[in-house]
Amino acid sequence: MVGDIIKEDLSSSNIQKAPVVNKKFQQEVKHYQKLFDELRYEVSKIVVGQSDILDFLMEAILSNGHCLVEGIPGIAKTLLLRTLSIVTGCEFKRIQFTPDLLPTDIVGVTAYDKKKGFYTVKGPIFANFVLGDEINRAPPKVQSALLEAMQEKQVTIGHNSFHLPKPFFVMATQNPIEQMGTYPLPEAQIDRFIYKIIMKYPNMEDEEKILRQNISLQKFEDYNIRPVMKPGDLLELQSDTMKIYSDPKIEKYIVRLVDATRNPKKYNLELGKYVEFGSSPRASISLFIASKAHALLNGNVYVTPNDVKSVALNVFRHRLILTYEGQAENLDSDDVVKEMLSKVPVI
């Protein structure tokens, strides 16, 4: 359904393209397409399929945001981010969240030695790409330590504050099938992620390829993955993402979509009765930035309605709180978002 919505011809003359675009910037965006193609090729050497998930992660990184990924074990969540870190020349660290984990296990501690006195031992949070594996298995205090670092881009160890490396990206994962002994993330914390991505099974054709080239039979180094960019390139991409033009009518469309989550009756949303709480202004900001990232990733220097619709599910999925009645009807937030996209007018 959402695919049909996105494919609609929405190139209305009422929505302007970039009025006057710097030719140098246009050339840079074209150059980025070659870079993205090289990146996809290198990642595909080891990660079979999941090309849409890779694009979603890149959109989140270009937006200078973070991702929450939900999927069963064994579908290459860790492998994908580890591979992406190598291709982008970034440092990768993995944190396995467990019930006995402490905040200091993430951010680090102040230690003492007779010879050199007090010194700081930095934790695994000090990396460009951080994987928080099964974040809902750790108690809230530990979750908060990671989420504070995500928001502030710095951590406090003892009496000293330390800035985290740039770029800094967190991909936190959740296992949807094992809820025993987990601590669900509070809505105020889960809202910090720009995207929530649902990672699904590969198709049969991809799974045949996985049988032949899976990492269980080979070493990571055997795939000859080469970096196609450096951390500085990602910072430049993040900066250029903000330069993508967004027409005022596009911005009004974004605001209407967010307003539809709060006032569904105004837009005749049948499933709106199952929404208990709509999205905060952070959703508007996330949708605004993510649509720019989607445009850049696809070689455009301006945002179209299709860019907004393409990122809407990932942006709204974790920001709509359904009533118990809606949950009893086996509805999820995706159903509401799809109806929003079909009914909220672009112009």
CATH of the domain at 266: 1.10.8.80
**Same domain? 336 vs 261:** yes
Q: How far apart are CA 277 and CA 60, in angstroms?
A: 24
**Same domain? 185 vs 59:** yes
Does 7 score more than 50 pLDDT?
Answer: no
Quick check: helix, strand or coil at residue 231?
helix
Phi and psi angles of residue 199, each rounded to the nearest 5 degrees, phi first: -100, 125
Any domain includes 236: no
CATH of the domain at 212: 3.40.50.300
**pLDDT tens for each residue of 185-233:** 777 778 889 999 999 888 888 888 888 777 766 777 777 889 999 999 9
**Same domain? 249 vs 212:** no
Report the first-to-last Cα separation within the chain, whole angstroms.
Answer: 21
320 touches 283 (CB < 8 A): no
Domain end, chosen from 188, 203, 230, is at 230
Whole-number pLDDT of residue 178: 67
Q: What is the pTM of this model?
A: 0.88
Q: Where are the beta strands (DSSP E) in 158-311?
A: 160-163, 169-174, 195-198, 275-277
Model confidence band, residue 1 (pLDDT cutoffs 50, 70, 90): very low
Can you give the residue range of the structural domain that contains 84?
Answer: 52-230
What's the number of domains the chain is made of? 2
**pLDDT tens for each residue of 39-69:** 999 998 888 888 899 999 999 999 999 999 9
Any domain includes 238: no
**Same domain? 4 vs 56:** no
The predicted model gives 172-178 an average pLDDT of: 81
Model confidence band, residue 181 (pLDDT cutoffs 50, 70, 90): low
Residues 6 or more apart whose CB falls under 8 angstroms from that of 215 comprise: 46, 79
Q: Where are the beta strands (DSSP E) in the chain?
A: 67-70, 92-96, 108-113, 117-122, 129-133, 154-157, 160-163, 169-174, 195-198, 275-277, 321-322
**Same domain? 132 vs 176:** yes
**Same domain? 251 vs 327:** yes
The predicted model gives 306-311 an average pLDDT of: 95
Count, in order, helices (H) and strands (E) of the chain: 14, 11
Any domain includes 45: no
The token duo for 143 is 């979750």
- The label of the residue with tokens 């994962």 reads 173
Q: How far apart are CA 74 and CA 42, in angstroms?
A: 21
The per-residue pLDDT of the chain, averaged, comes to 86
Any domain includes 42: no
**Same domain? 142 vs 89:** yes
Whole-number pLDDT of residue 21: 64
Any domain includes 32: no
**Same domain? 88 vs 220:** yes
Any domain includes 254: yes
Percentage above 70 pLDDT, the chain: 92
